Amino acid sequence: SVHWHGLRLENRYDGTHETQTPVEVGERYTARVTFPDPGTFWYHS
């Protein structure tokens, strides 16, 4: 998962187990998001 800081995104893209469905072994997850604000932001996985 990826946890974003400072971005206004839907909770399902927050990257925590409370808001995002786990990706099981052998599965894939593709996040297609549009970032609503310009800027420099940080993230971690």
Q: pLDDT tens across 2-45, in order?
A: 888 888 888 777 777 777 778 889 999 887 888 889 999 998 88
Are the beta carbons of 18 and 11 closer than 8 angstroms? Answer: no
Residue 13, φ and ψ in degrees, nearest 5: -100, 15
Its pTM stands at 0.55
- Say what the pLDDT of residue 27 is: 94
Are the beta carbons of 10 and 28 closer than 8 angstroms? Answer: no
Tokens describing residue 38: 């310009």
Domain range for 19: 1-45
Domain count, the chain: 1
Cα separation, 11 vs 2, in Å, equals: 12
Residues 6+ apart with CB under 8 A from 39: 6
